[in-house]
Structure formats: structure tokens, C-alpha cells
Amino acid sequence: MSGVLQVFNPYDRGLFTTLEAVDEAEAFAALDRAYALYRDRSRHIRPHERIAILERAAGLMRERREELIHEAVMEGGKPWADSVVEVDRAINGFAVAVQELATGHGEEVPMTSTPAAAGRLAMTMREPRGVVMAISAFNHPVNLLVHQVVPAFAAGCPALVKPASATPVSCRNVVRLLHEAGVPEEWVQFLPCSGAVAEKLVADERVAFLSFIGSARVGWMLRSRLAPGATCALEHGGAAPVIVDATADLDAHVPALVKGGFYHAGQVCVSVQRIYAHASIAGELARKMATAAERLVVGNPLDPRTEVGPLINPAEVERVEAWVNEAREAGAQVLCGGERFSDTCYKPTVLFNPSDDVQVSQQEVFGPVVCVYSYTDRDEAIARANALPYAFQASVIAQDIDAALYAVRRLDAMAVMVNDHTAFRVDWMPFGGYRRSGMGVGGIAHSMREMSVEKLMVIKSPSL
């Protein structure tokens, strides 16, 4: 073992627990086991057996739901009410994987269009791509693991799992439940190792697929280390834009925008961050959002009444504070918040018309800060929304369907929500970003397809 990994409660910074870390030799021994398993077809688990195991695992998660929620809150700091939603989503994720595993299939490739193809029957079939290396993030410690590891096992791929250093307990819990449900230990291996060890694993030619959720800096670096032939799915952050048309019903949509901006203290890759509102309503929208944000309950995430909990560590509070102060000094109006709640929490903050050049306008805040900007020309607003090198999810708020569709067609995003916040997601929809926001497509069924290869079989027969 390479040492002890300490896990701290983000709210009070008390030591929650410790775990033994895995050193380089142990990590590569795990890769040896995973690759040998992948190459030995006699040890592969049949699809109907995988389905039964996944259904048992979902049942075990239901039985231990309260424990999973409690430990996720203790190490990740997401408020209890939101962690309930996360764990319930994770449980449902097993059903999504089972459905894809039960109904996913190849297809017949037509061989009738030319004389050269005559007398042949061609069809595709799915096979596992190989060993999956899954590197996860702290902000959804249960559900992200389900989105990375369950698709790998369902697709027939052995998986190595490196948790975020801040939230390894939830990862360990999910892996243990899979083993208890019948997943052999070699199929899903928990590796709480250092980033340096993970980087070496990623570069090994035996790793066929990298599933990474985290910062763009690390994700693109790891992609550059992949061996020839390996593929990846990278999920980074964004600075999600919202276009609010003059026809928008503000009272109807402010609650969703507030939820999308301050959910998990803004530590969400598609959190509402930049709202471009028509000048005729921008001031009113900003004030309504500030009034709603001031009512949010900030505090201990174990309290079911808490709506905004801590940031993952005090350094993040200091960073968010510095970014808000920079925007204030450059002329932004601070309509609410703008200061710490404590050493670990930052007050929900609404900024009106910050400069386009300050960091809250240029970078992903990943904190409880929402910016509202005024515009008069919708093309200019869309151009400002598209100006950053991120493209993940966006939204448009409008009663006028033509105005909504105009923005949908022109916003740079992998998904655009109409009359909803940018952080909407269900686990069977495609999910991902492009430009610096990532590559590949998430969503459980989509991940299963990316972790598979389509093999073509062509049968030649005089009977055809």
C-alpha cells in the first residue's frame, strides 16, 4: 500500500474516514488481472447473467439507500435532499443499463445492391471493446460511478475505477455492492491511487477505453497519453449560457433558473452561469433571482432543510471570493451574496452586468454565482453566449416559439433546453460536450455503445 487517503467532511472539515491507497505495483497488478480476464473468452459473463447481477445490485442499493445517502453527504457536501435524488437516479441507472443490454442489437447490412455482393448475408454484432479505465469526479460521487462502471460491466468490459480523492467512499460502496451482487472482483476493481499512477495506467496499451470526468486540463492531458487505438469519453465543465427573450414569463422560470444555478452550490458541469436577458426585462429578472437566492438556506448538508451546502474545500471558497471581488471592482453590481457564509460555504450570489473580460464571465465558476447580462440585439447575445471555448448544455427562455427555435439553432451546445434550466438531465439521454467541454457521449446506454465495438460478419452461401 502507498499510504492512507484521508477523507474530510467539506462542511466542518472534520476527518470523516481513512482508506488505504493503492500503489503503482498494485495498480498494475489490477490491470494485469483485468486484461487477462478480457482476453479469456471462457470467463466472460453472458448477457442474461449480467442482467441478473445488475438487477440484484439495484436491489441492494435500495436496501442500503439511507447509508449511501449519508456517506455521500458526509464526503461530498451535497445537501441531503439533493443527495436523495442522486442516489435514486443511480438506482434507476441499473434499470437503464438492463434495458439497453436486453434490447441492444446489431443489424443486417444489405447485400443486394450489386452483383459483387450477391450470395452473401451480412450482419453486425456488439462485442466489448476491452479494459475500461474510469476516473471519476467528486460532485456526484454515487451517480457518476454508476454512469461509468455499470455501462462497462453491462457491455462486457472489465473496469478499473479511480475515484476522486475527495469522495472515494461512495465509489467503494458502489463497487462493493456490485461484488456482493455477483460481479467477480476482477471485473470491477477499486483503485484509490494517485493521479500519477492513474496517468501511467491510462497510457498502458492494454487500456482500451478511458472514461474521464473532471477538469479540461487533466482530461485533455490524459487523452494525449492514450495508446494508439484506445478511445475515450471526456466530460469536462462549461459556463452554461441562457438566452432570455423579451417574451419570457419571468415568474414561471425564475425558480428553475435559481435551482439550476445554485444546486450543489453551483458545483455542476452544466450549472446555470451566464444569463443573457433582453434589456426590457434584464433588471427585473436579476432582481427576482437575487430575491429568490437570498431565501435559499445555506448550511450543514445533513440538515434536510439546507438548499446550498459547502464547496468541496476552503480553497474553492477563496477562489470564488476572489473572482467575485474582481467582477465587483470591474463594475458588476452585486445584487445578493458576494461574501462568504463561512470558511467552507459561499453565499448564493447574483451579479448584474459583469464585464465580459472578468473570470466569472470567461471561466467555469463551479461555485454559487450566477451572472445576468443585458442585451438589445439577440444575435449579439447569442454571439456572446458562444464566445467561450466551451460548449456543453445551454437553454433559451421564451414564450415566442420562433424566438426559441432561432436561439436553439444558433447556440453552440450539445443540448439546448427550452423553457428549462441548463442542468436538466435524465440518465437515458445523450450527455456530453465538445470544444474544451469534452468529447464522446455519456448517458448509460450511449456509454455502453461507446464501450463496445461492432463486428461485421459476412456469410457467403450458394443458398442465398
Q: Which of 236, 277, 253, 268 is nearest to 384 (CA)?
A: 277
How far is 262 from 452, CA to CA, in rounded Å?
Answer: 36
Q: What DSSP string runs through 231-293?
A: EEEEE----EEEEE-TT--HHHHHHHHHHHHHGGGG-STT-EEEEEEETTTHHHHHHHHHHHH
Q: Which of 269, 336, 345, 371 is catalytic?
A: 269
How far is 291 from 171, CA to CA, in rounded Å?
Answer: 37
- 73 neighbors 173 (Cβ within 8 angstroms): no
How far is 29 from 416, CA to CA, in rounded Å?
Answer: 44
What's the Cα-to-Cα distance from 330 to each of 28, 324, 327, 351, rounded to whole Å? 50, 10, 5, 12
Q: Which residues contact 90 (CB under 8 A, 6 or more apart)?
A: 61, 68, 142, 143, 145, 146, 174
- Using the Cα atoms of residue 207, residue 209, residue 215 and residue 220 in order, give the sign of their dihedral: positive
Q: What cell was used for 3?
A: 499510504
What are 393's strand-pairing partners?
Answer: 415
- 275 neighbors 285 (Cβ within 8 angstroms): yes
Q: Supply the DSSP symbol for 388.
A: S
- Angle at the Cα of 218 (from 214 to 220), degrees rounded to 5? 105
Amino acid at 356: D
* 3 state DSSP class of 342: coil
Residue 371 annotated in active site:
no
* C-alpha dihedral, 194 to 16 to 423 to 223, nearest 10°: 0
Q: Is 46 exposed, middle or buried (0-12, 13-18, 19+ CB in 10 A)?
A: exposed
How far is 97 from 120, CA to CA, in rounded Å?
Answer: 33
Q: Is 273 exposed, middle or buried (0-12, 13-18, 19+ CB in 10 A)?
A: buried
- 407 neighbors 418 (Cβ within 8 angstroms): no
- 136 neighbors 148 (Cβ within 8 angstroms): yes
How far is 362 from 375, CA to CA, in rounded Å?
Answer: 17
Q: Which of 75, 86, 235, 450 is catalytic?
A: 235
Residue 235 annotated in active site:
yes
User: What amino acid positions are annotated as catalytic residues?
Assistant: 235, 269
